[in-house]
Structure 1
Amino acid sequence: MRLRHGLLTLALCAVAGVSPAQPAAPAVELNIPFEKLTLPNGLQVILVEDRRLPVVATNLRFQVGSGDDPPGKPGFAHLFEHLYAFSPPESVPSPQSIGATQDGATTDPDRTTYYTTAPSDRLETLLALESERWRNFPRRLNASLLAKERSNVRNERRLNIENQPYGLADEAVFQQLFAMGHPYHWKYLGTHAGVEAARLEDMREFFARYYGPGNASLVIAGDIDRSRARSLVEKYFGSIEAGAVPPRARASASRVGGQKRITVTDRVEVPRVTLAWATPGWYQPGNAEMEMLSALLGSSSSRLYDRLVRQEKLANSLVVEHLPFARGSVLAIKAAAAPGVTLQRLESAIASEMAAFQTAGPSAAEVEQARNATMLSIVRGLEKLGEINGFGDFTMDAAYGGVAEQLNQCNVLMRNPGCLREVMKRFAAATPDSLRKAAATLTPGSGVVIYAVPGEKVVDDVPAAEAVPASSHLAQTDKFEMPPVGPPSAVKPPAPQRVVLDNGFQVWLVEQHQIPAISAHLVVRRGSGDSPANRAGLAAFTTKLLLRGTRERTSREFALEAAQLGTKVEADISSDAAALGIRVLKQNLPRALGLLSDAAMNPAFSQADLDSLRAEELARIAQARSNVDTRASYLFTETLYGGVGPYRRSGLFNDDLFARAHNYGYDEIGTEEALRAITRDEIARFWKEGYTPDNVALVVAGDASLAELRELATKYFGAWQGKAAKVARAAAGAPKEHYLVENAGNASQTALRVGTIGATRSSPDLVPLRLLNFVFGEIFESRITANLRVKHNYTYMARSQFAFRREPGPFVVGTNVRTDVTASALQELFNELSRLREEPVSDAEMRFARTAYESSLVSLFESTGKMASTVGQMFTYELPLDYYQALPTRIGATTAADIQRVARQYLQPSKVVVVAVGDQARIEPGIANVVNAATRGEP
């Protein structure tokens, strides 16, 4: 065994005082001590002691991914990940059953990672469960398990590629950019045919070849004692047989030579062009420049955005993304055409702007902007312990993962968990000329161009293999014995502090000094529920327009100043509040607050900016119509509230169900009719009546003190005057109908939304309803997943949620099921709702729900962004400072009888609404039968 101690230092650059001739000097350092050891069987282990919260994260990485799929079987490694992740039998507890707030697995072209985050006193149990799975997997692998996970993987592909707008075009980027035989030709989800081609003997060989300790790396990070953690690792992993270590090629096959051009038809309303190139892989020479180039080109202050969106109005949206992998990466520019603009014209403008950039290169200020943005991304990732980077999992959108992920990646790819020190030096060394040279490699002849246009969606959804009779897993050799719970942690989640200025402006702070980063949210108690009945979306439109120019800064000047801080100001809207949010390094907090105050107190509301935003929002609505999830969620709220009431147009509810979109909450976009009608005077009036100091709070989380924050708040917000006007909210109407089916053509899946009106945020029933939902559908271990996915293979994902708002918000179940089982899946949902009403929750489920609920409270303070969001809700709903500290007592006092009582009160079948978007001709008759029987009280 070898022991090594290291120190990880991140050098973060300041903005002020930068010389154009050289990169900025290091201004802030962040130390992450780690210990690395290698067991005799070859397993590498990295231990990180981080006492921010009473949690621990594990990250077990095997050096095998979809780039290692056997020939002719794309999707094999991802299917194997599913088999491995779901192989333990019911007799072995799951991490979620012991309080894990994260428990998942991801596959990308180069690696497969299994990760958990749980209370730190459960560390030994986590390691025991991981060891048990590793040792016993070969004994449990059988035809029944393979058939079940084949179906789940295929459902995942349908959900994430085939039912997503532009999903086929995004997949085509890899197929056109990398030749057949290259490890990146197929995305990790593979193909239906490739998944069906997998056989048991292939899986056993794959495990023996790639899942040995010598091909794995484990990071344990969090509230641990390293000596104890080292002993536990040796106890549970030391005797696993070493096995072989397969060779890993840095690259194989070749990229496509010359420019490739294709057109992909899809069920979309807005045509989109994508230009993409292959670029250097993680930590390879040139990768840092491509990361910075992506940040620079994709910024709303960039020359490219300014020309396409602001000046020539050729595009309504522009996205530039860099997808880094170990053996190569992809840089893609995606632009959705404005009405009347051809993709040829849009492509020509992008090519022209890129050519100009390649000739002149960026300015020193632009390089510093990109450098700060990239470094801040790394620091933002490190705010969390267990976050995974985003390109193996569709629910994630960050390139940089948490502490465990980043150290593991450094260990594997650079053989040094502390490699971020060297990585940061590469960012610091970048110059205008090095970025110009990197951009010069993105030539028209070296990439691919993909047009996504409205038309038929062509999907090769091959028939499934014959059904395999269900069978139990093969018996394990030893019965699993639950280890004792470890010593309780002395670490507690931080409590917010509050101060009120003379003008009524509130300042809330959650201090955390381990990382030099800050999230600041300016929260106003005006949300989409406060929009007038005939102006749905006015609240969101007003909030977004605040960032489109002030009396002192034009729209581009505002974006450029934020970009110089390495960030942007984001507007978000929920049902009861709006937020302007920014994340910065500590040294940039004063300038960040200056931007927030200027936006909130001095908006220009110019007609030109209003018209530009209106065009972008109308395009977003058009694009949203192409997404069956969005359409289903939008129709659900409209149907549920009968077209009136505060939340009748609260639209993209699925963003929270599926964790896809925003940092703070919902995106309440409104309606096309209302957006076309909104005037400047209406916006100015809504702002004047709601954006007042007595109705707004500055919520800050991170590396700050209350004294310095009060001083800054007084400087930037102390002169603000005004009193908020009261808003009368319309009462909710009755549902228009019990079910609504909208046609999406020949769809392979149905987007289902099922629910009813729930409770308010102030309801005394909130705690029993939350516990009910942990039992029913809030997490993977809940009942509807066990039913719809595990038992029946109807869906890849099913979730439910109560939205607790100022007025009674919706309770909704969201899932996408195979078209041919839509009625059966809906019947199972009604069965599960009835079971909650008719049968008391078992003692085991009560323990599970309490553990899950209590553990979830800690995760609300996992990062500065989450802290600010959590405390922002405390301000919005006027909760006491000790609200979250007092919740565990309320949770512990809630009984199974309380849960059954609220189930009977709130989940009445006669009040349940069903919305489905799919193949109407095939699904509507079955839906009608199920709903009509349920509302009549029939079994």
Structure 2
Amino acid sequence: MSVKLTLKNFVIVSAMLGIAACQQQATSSIENEPNQEQITIPYEKYTLDNGLTVILHEDKSDPLVHVDVTYHVGSAREEVGKSGFAHFFEHMMFQGSKHVADEQHFRIITESGGSMNGTTNSDRTNYYQTVPANQLEKVLWLEADRMGFLLDAVTQKKFEVQRETVKNERAQRVDNQPYGLRHERTIEALFPSGHPYSWSTIGYVEDLDRVDVNDLKAFFKRWYGPNNAVLTIGGDIDKSKTKQWVEKYFGSIPKGPEVNKDKPEIIELNETRYITLEDQVHLPLLQITFPTVYARHPDEAPLDVLSDILGTGKTSLFYKNLVKSGMAVQAAVGHPCRELACEFQLLALANPSAGKNLKQIHQVVKDTLEEFEQRGVLPDDLKRTKASIEVSTVFGLQSVAGKVSALAANETFYGEPDLIADDIARYNSVTAEDVMRVYRKYIKNKHAVVLSVVPKGQTQLAVAAQNYQLPERKITPPSEVDEVKQPAIVDNFDRSKTPAAGEIPAVKVPEYWESSLANGISLLGVHSEETPTTHISLALEGGMLLDQKDKAGLASLTMLMLNESTLNFTNEEMANALAKLGSSIQFSTSGRYMQVQVSTLSKNLSETINLLEEKMFNPAFLEADFLRLKERILQSMQQQLKDPGYLADRGRDVVLFGKENRVSLPGEGTIATVTNITLDDVKNFYSRYWSPNMAKAITVTDLSQAELTQQLGFLSKWEQKEYAITEQYQFPEYDKTSLFFIEHPEAVQSVVLVTKRGPTYDATGEFFKAKLMNFPLGGAFNSRINLNLREDKGYAYGARSHFTGGKSLGFFEVSSNVTAANTADAINEIVNELNAYQSQGMTEEEVAFMRSAYTLSDALKYETPANKVRFLRQLQAFELDDDYPVQQLKIINSISVDELNQLASKHLKMQDMQIIVVADKSVLESQLQGLPYPTQILTIRH
């Protein structure tokens, strides 16, 4: 994963670290206090004697803490022939350490009510956790133990299992995904052979097979010292106590080898390199990539503005010339930056029905660049950019994790944690002349990598014949790894003892106000002054359930049309008006609901509401918009048939809910049903169902109830129209388990689902209790199913089970992407786990694990406006008592193991389950013949 190290995505980078310590004094301390005239993140920074940089950020608004440890090592630090090692090592850091048993890191954090993960990119690896505030010492102990004592727990078996897990991750995310190899092919051609960015972070399978456990140990000793790490802690902390814990657990860890920063070098190509990738795709793709600068180079900001003008949203030239014209389904321009290099990417996903090949689209791209040069930079171009900077900054401050991630990343790469004001200044200082200058310097008539992704066997669609071949990789024979001796760690306490948690923090369900608008719309609101923002969510019940079956997708298409032109604004004018405010208004469907989402800075709410009123009540419903959207949907549907995950979900819905019911079809419909829809159908649907009859609204804002209600006063003129939702279904019944096979030629993995219909949603009844029952089976990382398929067998990158329920439908599902060669084995393991759990039930230890995880996680539930909106939406949608969280806690703490096991016995009978497999039939046929289930071929047509 590449990360843009600028304000534009300052919330993207997250990390976490920890280690062991005795009593040492910090060598320096810097405090950054809030400046009333600038947007800042207050912090204190200091460095331990062993080189560990520590950053502390206090935020008392919620009873939680976020801990991030970032190591300045990613795939760019790897040797040629050992690609993927940094990412592989990230996996190993979760496999236990000297004082923490196998898989216990995940278990301890989950049991503490927290969430955690780790990520690797080309430039850094990070580990992070969000936990209730009383669990901070425990998190620091955990992170310190793997920093100081990881190698004590490394074994050959763990090494081999995680190697298989990483291979499965690559197969699932890269090799088995349409366009999954796009990034890898591009960087191979863009960067010189041996350049740190010339291979992908996930690496090559042959390189993963080449390394051994000694390479891993050497990698750890070289890069995972405290002097190459930043420990960032934010949230509801006591600074004095936190510093003591940091010293205790991290201070005695010895410094590692010195680490010098790599120097970025601007890359130039001596020719335009054309490469072609044949893939399992329906839509041909063109990507043109120019090398530019590197993160925080003076030209980065104007290049970002250039990319925005050319290819971001409906105001862009790419939208006008490629999407609006119908030549492309999607088109965009971006400028992702990394520590050593940036890439200017122009992308177009071709519309096959337009009859154009990628060569013709390439010509339109070139013509668009020339048009930009003639047009120049308009005043509104810069206004949009400056508005987006302010909005992204403010919204990035809504979570502790976002602030901690920004502090950690900026310190790791630039030695300065808070760069928000600096970022705002550098983007605000960009002029039209700057943008034109960087266009001429880096883009105009410059060489690029031109990638054509085409359907297999259709290379004639490519821009040009391939003229570049990846040079043969010269792999140096492995040499013996020198043993690096590390000083012993001496402590004055017993690290084997898990620190006790502090007093459980008090968690308050958000206080909300309730009112009704003049025409009966129910309105719930939360007043929150943490950021000067307003979010409004409007939901109209009905959605896909209002579609005629032969015109499934009509509700979805109607809502998409409300995102288009209005009577008084063209698409471009509306997009420009919203972008200058930094506001967003989105119409969409989700299941049984039609939704309107509004997000804005509160100071711009009045102007945003005016635009919302225009979009809600004055849609133009233009034929040109309709035809373009309909064509985009139809082409996207063709592409979805190449996605194995999509095929599996469609198969599940058909098997569980039958071919003849609307609910078994996707919300957006199918090719056949969308083809049937006319513009008059859209107009009639809007006329019939665009009504406050079943509408409910939610808002989270720093404004008062009176101010917000006044702003929404325009809704009082919304005309009431009565309509009803009909839900009468006949679902298929099965007297035995069958295996439904969906063919996906040349798949390198198999998607496996084991599924049945289940209870509909309730907050305190059987559905809720079934979710509690499922938690140890497949609802956590340490669940039985995941530990079996991922950690014990190495068949999968991950496996899970869950109950999903709505108002009228519910189902249970076990899902995993597994290696093709082990598909039958994986199915047998899933079945064995289900049978054992159904017949024998949970253990008392598993019940305690579930209780702790569910109870303590309340501290994380209500932090952000999005969290609060979800809580209010749940209240509204299911008409719940406002104390339902309290009722749930009582159930969690009191439900007996016998009641949970009765639920397992009832809901997990294998004879009620159906198995769905998406795979290459030629690879799996002999395997499936050995399974005791009759096989049915299932064909998914859109």
TM-score (norm 2): 0.88
- TM-superposed CA distance for 1:254, in Å, is 4.6
Does structure 1 conserve the Cα–Cα contact (< 8 Å) formed by 2:96 and 2:102?
Answer: no
Partner of 2:719: 721
Distance of aligned partners of 1:73 and 1:214 in 2 relative to their CA distance in 1, 3 Å threshold: same
2 CA distance for matches of 1:906 and 1:410?
A: 49
1 CA distance for matches of 2:307 and 2:199?
A: 23
2 CA distance for matches of 1:646 and 1:347?
A: 41
Q: 1:131 aligns with which of 140, 144, 154?
A: 144
Question: Which amino acid in the other structure matches residue 308 of structure 1?
Answer: N
- TM-superposed CA distance for 1:31, in Å, is 4.1
Question: Which amino acid in the other structure matches residue 71 of structure 1?
Answer: V
1 CA distance for matches of 2:886 and 2:572?
A: 43
Higher mean C-alpha deviation, range 147-156 or range 835-844: 835-844
Matches within 5 A, 1:508-519: 508-519=524-535
- TM-superposed CA distance for 1:567, in Å, is 4.5
Higher mean C-alpha deviation, range 118-127 or range 915-924: 915-924
2 CA distance for matches of 1:64 and 1:584?
A: 37
Q: 1:380 aligns with which of 391, 395, 398?
A: 395
Q: Do structure 1's residue 51 and structure 2's residue 60 form an aligned pair? A: yes
Query: Aligned with 1:325: secondary structure?
Result: coil
Which string of whole-angstrom CA distances, capped at 9 and with x for unpartnered residues, describes residues 611-670 of structure 1? 1110011111112112111121122212221113452013xxxxxxxxxxxxxxxxx322
Distance of aligned partners of 1:929 and 1:734 in 2 relative to their CA distance in 1, 3 Å threshold: farther
Partner of 2:772: 771
Q: 1:648 aligns with which of 641, 664, 671?
A: 664
- TM-superposed CA distance for 1:479, in Å, is 6.4
Q: Do structure 1's residue 76 and structure 2's residue 85 form an aligned pair? A: yes
Partner of 2:520: 504
Partner of 1:750: 750
- TM-superposed CA distance for 1:904, in Å, is 2.8
Question: Which amino acid in the other structure matches residue 89 of structure 2?
Answer: F
2 CA distance for matches of 1:291 and 1:851?
A: 46
Query: Aligned with 1:560: secondary structure?
Result: helix
Which string of whole-angstrom CA distances, capped at 9 and with x for unpartnered residues, describes residues 443-476 of structure 1? 3533211000001799x9x9xxxxxxxxxxxxx9
2 CA distance for matches of 1:798 and 1:526?
A: 33
Matches within 5 A, 1:211-610: 211-251=224-264, 254-338=267-351, 339=353, 340-386=355-401, 402-440=402-440, 441-455=442-456, 480-490=496-506, 492-610=508-626
Larger radius of gyration: 2
- TM-superposed CA distance for 1:129, in Å, is 0.8
- TM-superposed CA distance for 1:857, in Å, is 4.6
- TM-superposed CA distance for 1:228, in Å, is 1.4
Question: Which amino acid in the other structure matches residue 47 of structure 1?
Answer: L
- TM-superposed CA distance for 1:584, in Å, is 2.2
Which string of whole-angstrom CA distances, capped at 9 and with x for unpartnered residues, describes residues 340-390 of structure 1? 12111111111211222234332111111122224423433332222xxxx
2 CA distance for matches of 1:91 and 1:353?
A: 53
Does structure 2 conserve the Cα–Cα contact (< 8 Å) formed by 1:830 and 1:934?
Answer: no
- TM-superposed CA distance for 1:100, in Å, is 4.7
Query: Aligned with 1:258: secondary structure?
Result: coil
Does structure 2 conserve the Cα–Cα contact (< 8 Å) formed by 1:268 and 1:454?
Answer: yes
Query: Aligned with 1:534: secondary structure?
Result: helix
Which string of whole-angstrom CA distances, capped at 9 and with x for unpartnered residues, describes residues 700-754 of structure 1? 224333221111111x312112134012123142168833212221221012222
Question: Which amino acid in the other structure matches residue 690 of structure 2?
Answer: Y
Query: Aligned with 1:492: secondary structure?
Result: coil
Q: Which runs of 5+ in 2 are unaligned?
A: 1-25, 460-469, 474-488, 937-942
Question: Which amino acid in the other structure matches residue 115 of structure 1?
Answer: Y
Partner of 1:665: none
Partner of 1:683: 682
Question: Which amino acid in the other structure matches residue 561 of structure 1?
Answer: A
Distance of aligned partners of 1:805 and 1:315 in 2 relative to their CA distance in 1, 3 Å threshold: same
Does structure 2 conserve the Cα–Cα contact (< 8 Å) formed by 1:522 and 1:579?
Answer: yes
Q: Do structure 1's residue 863 and structure 2's residue 876 form an aligned pair? A: no
Query: Aligned with 2:933: secondary structure?
Result: helix
Matches within 5 A, 1:781-820: 781-820=782-821
Runs of 4+, deviation exceeding 6 Å? 476-479
Matches within 5 A, 1:618-697: 618-650=634-666, 668-697=667-696
2 CA distance for matches of 1:274 and 1:742?
A: 31
Distance of aligned partners of 1:603 and 1:430 in 2 relative to their CA distance in 1, 3 Å threshold: same
Matches within 5 A, 1:855-934: 855-927=856-928, 929-930=930-931, 932=933
Distance of aligned partners of 1:493 and 1:51 in 2 relative to their CA distance in 1, 3 Å threshold: farther
Q: Do structure 1's residue 822 and structure 2's residue 831 form an aligned pair? A: no
Query: Aligned with 1:453: secondary structure?
Result: strand
Partner of 1:64: 73
Does structure 1 conserve the Cα–Cα contact (< 8 Å) formed by 2:161 and 2:794?
Answer: yes
TM-score (norm 1): 0.88
Q: Which runs of 5+ in 1 are unaligned?
A: 12-28, 387-401, 463-475, 651-667
Distance of aligned partners of 1:855 and 1:720 in 2 relative to their CA distance in 1, 3 Å threshold: farther
- TM-superposed CA distance for 1:585, in Å, is 2.0
Partner of 1:700: 699
Q: Do structure 1's residue 120 and structure 2's residue 153 form an aligned pair? A: no
Distance of aligned partners of 1:511 and 1:124 in 2 relative to their CA distance in 1, 3 Å threshold: same
Which string of whole-angstrom CA distances, capped at 9 and with x for unpartnered residues, describes residues 65-107 of structure 1? 1001112111111111111232342384534333354211111
Which string of whole-angstrom CA distances, capped at 9 and with x for unpartnered residues, describes residues 245-277 of structure 1? 211212269554332111110010111101112
- TM-superposed CA distance for 1:47, in Å, is 0.7
Q: 1:34 aligns with which of 22, 26, 43?
A: 43
Partner of 2:96: 87
- TM-superposed CA distance for 1:140, in Å, is 1.7
Query: Aligned with 1:353: secondary structure?
Result: helix
Distance of aligned partners of 1:348 and 1:869 in 2 relative to their CA distance in 1, 3 Å threshold: farther
Higher mean C-alpha deviation, range 332-341 or range 116-125: 332-341
Does structure 1 conserve the Cα–Cα contact (< 8 Å) formed by 2:511 and 2:526?
Answer: yes
Question: Which amino acid in the other structure matches residue 281 of structure 1?
Answer: Y
Distance of aligned partners of 1:131 and 1:438 in 2 relative to their CA distance in 1, 3 Å threshold: same
- TM-superposed CA distance for 1:10, in Å, is 9.8
Question: Which amino acid in the other structure matches residue 80 of structure 2?
Answer: P
Q: Do structure 1's residue 141 and structure 2's residue 154 form an aligned pair? A: yes
- TM-superposed CA distance for 1:493, in Å, is 4.5
Question: Which amino acid in the other structure matches residue 211 of structure 2?
Answer: A
Does structure 1 conserve the Cα–Cα contact (< 8 Å) formed by 2:740 and 2:935?
Answer: no
- TM-superposed CA distance for 1:324, in Å, is 2.2
1 CA distance for matches of 2:210 and 2:575?
A: 50
Question: Which amino acid in the other structure matches residue 200 of structure 1?
Answer: V
Query: Aligned with 1:542: secondary structure?
Result: helix
Distance of aligned partners of 1:235 and 1:697 in 2 relative to their CA distance in 1, 3 Å threshold: same
Query: Aligned with 2:624: secondary structure?
Result: helix
Distance of aligned partners of 1:322 and 1:101 in 2 relative to their CA distance in 1, 3 Å threshold: farther
2 CA distance for matches of 1:539 and 1:9?
A: 48
Query: Aligned with 2:603: secondary structure?
Result: helix
Root-mean-square deviation (CA, aligned residues, Å) is 2.7
Which string of whole-angstrom CA distances, capped at 9 and with x for unpartnered residues, describes residues 305-362 of structure 1? 4323454211011233332211122232221111212111111111211222234332
Partner of 1:616: 632
Distance of aligned partners of 1:791 and 1:242 in 2 relative to their CA distance in 1, 3 Å threshold: same
Higher mean C-alpha deviation, range 306-315 or range 718-727: 306-315
- TM-superposed CA distance for 1:610, in Å, is 1.5
